[in-house]
Amino acid sequence: MTLNRNIGPFSTTAVGLGEMGLTIEGYPSHELALETIHAGLDAGCRMIDTAWAYYAPGEEEQTGEKLTREALQTWHGPREDVLVATKIGLRRDFDESGKPIWPRDGKPEHLIAYGKQSVQALGVDAIDLLYMHRHDPEVPYNESIEAVRELLDQGVARYAGVSNVTIEQLDVARGILGDRLIAVQNQFSPVHLETRDVLDYCARLGLAFVCWSPLGGFRHPYDDHLFDPFRKVAAARGVSYQQVTLAWELAQGDHMFVIPGCHRPATFLDSFKAGDLELTAEELAQLSA
Ligand SMILES: NC(=O)c1ccc[n+]([C@@H]2O[C@H](COP(=O)([O-])OP(=O)(O)OC[C@H]3O[C@@H](n4cnc5c(N)ncnc54)[C@H](OP(=O)(O)O)[C@@H]3O)[C@@H](O)[C@H]2O)c1
């Protein structure tokens, strides 16, 4: 039994596939990337999370959206059942030391152009769920969100979300987008608990909360010991600690979603099983301690 939940009017799987690792630096071969998405869809996953900015700096833009399109076009299952979410407002570049970075671009006219490029790259009539990726401090947040509203009004996207937001920014977005705002995507995991206030606020508002980097992120810039309690529960259950971690995140409320990343089918297939893993009250208490 796959765990399904509602994001606005969409019923979809609580575990979605985070596409980023398949197209940013460190990406696998194109064949393996397609195989990974197909394996997830074949297992029953019905949400893919990508972004305009999922490409390696210096390479072709929007490769994540293009990969998503190709994966769906070459998949033999019910394409119309898959919720595709993308994001606009970031680009890729290198800093002076050659390190890849994510420059922000929230200028309204640019956002309108990015949204139109996203719908094209995804090869859809309209984007199911379009997030404003991250606030650009050079542009008042309301002006960026008004551009997202314009994209909804033009039919480029059906519903909107906001990502990397504070409660104050979420309130600005709610004021402009009304009930067409259906989701918030913030970082949340045992090693990144900072946005619990937004998570709780979303529960009160009835908005979906989608955890990004739900396993801490594939670059591991965190204290790995924080996963020890999850390893303990996992050992007793005979499952991976990643599954326990994702199940714990999903147990934070019925509005919770996770989008684990992956570079190969095996990791996503294991993560996807978290939707079937119901933790007991005792285990949850152990993990919250
Ligand atoms: N909104 C935003 O600003 C934002 C920012 C960052 C990420 N995101 C979204 O969040 C998604 C996930 O983030 P992420 O990829 O950084 O981090 P993540 O999901 O926390 O971690 C991914 C890493 O965990 C490993 N993994 C996943 N499931 C596993 C399992 N069951 N067993 C063992 N290892 C497992 C993967 O291994 P392998 O590499 O071996 O497959 C990968 O290296 C992204 O794809 C993207 O869609 C959004």
pLDDT band at 289 (very low <50, low <70, confident <90, very high): low
Whether ligand 1 lies within 6 angstroms of the CB of 7 is answered as no
Q: Which residues fall within 8 angstroms of residue 192, CB to CB, at 6 or more apart?
A: 213, 216, 222
- Residue 210's pLDDT is 98
* Mutation to probe ligand 1, out of 215, 231, 268 (largest number of atoms < 8 A from CB): 215
pLDDT in tens, 231-269: 999 999 999 999 999 999 999 999 999 999 999 999 999
The two counts, helices (H) then strands (E), for the chain are 10, 12
Closest to 151 (Cα-Cα) out of 124, 114, 105: 114
Which among 54, 68, 213 is the best mutation to test ligand 1's pocket, defined by most ligand atoms within 8 Å of the CB?
A: 213
Q: What ligand 1 atom has the least distance to the C-alpha of 264? A: 41
Percent of the chain with pLDDT over 90: 96
Q: Are 214 and 245 in contact (CB under 8 A)?
A: yes
pLDDT at 174 over 90: yes
CATH number of 4-288: 3.20.20.100
CA 90 to ligand 1: nearest atom: 3
15-31 pLDDT, tens digit per residue, is 999 999 999 999 999 99
CB distance 217 to ligand 1 below 6 Å: yes
Dihedral (CA of 194, 215, 45, 71) sign: positive
Is the shortest distance between the CB of 13 and ligand 1 below 6 Å? no
- Between CA 252 and CA 147 the distance in angstroms is 32
| Average pLDDT of the residues in 163-179 | 98
DSSP assignment of 129-180 equals EEEE-S--TTS-HHHHHHHHHHHHHTTSEEEEEEES--HHHHHHHHHHHGGG
Residue nearest to atom 37 of ligand 1 (CA): 262
**249 near 211, Cβ under 8 Å?**
yes
Q: Is 36 in the pocket of ligand 1 (CB under 6 A)?
A: no
Percent helix, strand, coil in the chain (nearest 5)?
45, 20, 35
Measured from the CB, is residue 18 less than 6 Å from ligand 1?
yes
How confident is the model over 35-54, as a mean pLDDT?
A: 98
Quick check: is 141 catalytic? Answer: no
Q: Are 17 and 45 in contact (CB under 8 A)?
A: yes
Q: Which of 89-93, 100-104, 217-221 comes out lowest in average pLDDT?
A: 217-221
List pLDDT tens digits, range 191-216.
Answer: 999 999 999 999 999 999 999 999 99
Confidence of residue 2 (pLDDT cuts 50, 70, 90): confident
Entry pTM: 0.98
Instruction: Give the whole-number percent of the chain exceeding pLDDT 70.
Output: 99
